[in-house]
């Protein structure tokens, strides 16, 4: 019975991803994007509940990965493919969209088997963060159009963005996990409350900005370290990590560690 609730949340994650696919195919792009936010919330909760209930299992871990492949690999790619009119590019658009799905699947598989390399960092862009970049872009463009701003996006631009996110997921570029953020104390509480307030007040804008900052932080940090000659500290041995602590909209990686 203890394992039932976490697996139900994993199923809800999978259902939200499937719903997003259906809605994007019907042209309801904003609904599809919101569904991915719910998928991310369910993804965060399933692993947390499993650990609280001491109900971790290999089955839960594998099930979580499968659900995340759909919600953070297939659904965002189809959302961007349909919303960005990638069919105009023909075969090229299909391949560019698939690069995102393949990158997410490979990212999840690597997380399952490869030891953590850097303390407090992920190797490669977490797949939920990549999905968050897609959904927040859709919501932001929708907001601009609702505000009367004429937005014309050539199909090659979202195609290039999808392919780039796919490559970032399988890259060795390090990304902050968010675990080292100091949120305790009065200042941390105030910062958290104001951040949540901004997100709730203007989610279309704030989620997009958070996504841009987080996705670009990896390559920028790598470039700065390359120019300065600094290297990241590496862990001497493998340690489990829960990527659900990452910052961003869809700020969780699958809960294999602990599921």
Q: Residue 45 — very low, low, confident or very high, per pLDDT cuts 50/70/90?
A: confident
78: tokens are 């189809």
Q: Quick one: which of 23, 18, 59 has its CA closest to 42?
A: 18
Q: How many residues does the chain have?
A: 259
On the CB side of 84, how many CA atoms lie within 13 Å of its CA?
Answer: 26
Label residue 178 by pLDDT band (50, 70, 90).
low
Q: What is the pLDDT of residue 251?
A: 40
Determine which helix (DSSP H) or strand (DSSP E) holds 123, and give its type and residue range: strand 121-123
Q: Give which of 109, 112, 105 is closest to 70, Cα–Cα.
A: 105
pLDDT > 90? residue 180: no
* Contact (Cβ atoms closer than 8 angstroms) between residue 127 and residue 72: yes
Query: Does CATH place domain 4-245 in 3.40.50.300?
Result: no
Q: How confident is the model at residue 250 (pLDDT cuts 50, 70, 90)?
A: very low
224-235 residue pLDDT tens: 998 988 888 777
Residue 195 to residue 162: CA distance in whole angstroms: 27
CB 134 within 8 A of CB 166: no
* % of the chain surpassing 90 pLDDT: 55
Instruction: Answer with the residue of higher pLDDT: 55 or 204.
Output: 204
Can you tell me the distance from the alpha carbon of 250 to that of 58, in angstroms, rounded to the nearest whole number? 23
C-beta of residue 137 within 8 angstroms of C-beta of residue 203: no
Distance (Å, rounded) from C-alpha 69 to C-alpha 16? Answer: 12
CA distance 98 to 256: 24
CB 61 within 8 A of CB 256: yes
- What pLDDT score does 191 carry? 67
Q: Are 6 and 50 in contact (CB under 8 A)?
A: yes
Token pair belonging to 114: 């490869």
Secondary structure of 171-234 in the HEC alphabet?
CCCEEECCCCCCCCHHHHHHHHHHHHHHHHHCHHHHHHHHHHHHHHHHHHHHHHHHHHCCCCCC
**Are 207 and 136 within 8 A, CB to CB?**
yes
Report, as an integer, the average pLDDT of 121-144.
94
- What is the residue extent of each domain of the chain? 4-245
CA distance 185 to 197: 18
């Amino acid at each position: 019975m203890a394992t039932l609730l976490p697996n139900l949340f994993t199923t809800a994650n999978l259902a939200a991803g499937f719903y997003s696919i259906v809605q994007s195919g019907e042209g309801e792009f904003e609904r599809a994007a919101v569904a991915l936010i719910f998928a991310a919330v369910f993804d965060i909760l399933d692993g947390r509940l499993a650990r609280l209930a001491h109900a971790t299992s290999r089955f839960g871990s594998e099930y979580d990965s499968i659900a995340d492949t759909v919600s953070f690999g297939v659904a965002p790619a189809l959302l961007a493919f349909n919303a960005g009119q990638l069919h105009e590019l023909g075969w090229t658009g299909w391949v560019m969209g698939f690069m995102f799905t393949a990158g997410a699947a490979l990212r999840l598989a690597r997380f399952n088997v490869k030891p953590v390399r850097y303390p407090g960092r992920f190797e490669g862009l977490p797949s939920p963060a990549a999905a968050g970049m897609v959904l927040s872009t859709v919501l932001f463009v929708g907001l601009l159009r609702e505000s009367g701003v004429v937005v014309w996006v050539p199909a090659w631009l979202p195609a290039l963005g999808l392919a780039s996110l796919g490559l970032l997921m399988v890259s060795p570029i390090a990304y902050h996990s968010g675990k080292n953020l100091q949120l305790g104390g009065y200042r941390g509480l105030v910062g958290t409350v104001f951040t949540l307030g901004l997100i709730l007040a203007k989610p279309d804008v704030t989620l997009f900005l958070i996504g841009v900052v987080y996705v670009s932080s990896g390559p920028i940090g790598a470039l700065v370290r390359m120019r300065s000659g600094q290297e990241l500290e590496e862990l001497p041995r493998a340690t489990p990590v829960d990527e659900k602590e990452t910052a961003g909209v869809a700020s969780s990686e699958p809960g294999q560690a602990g599921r």
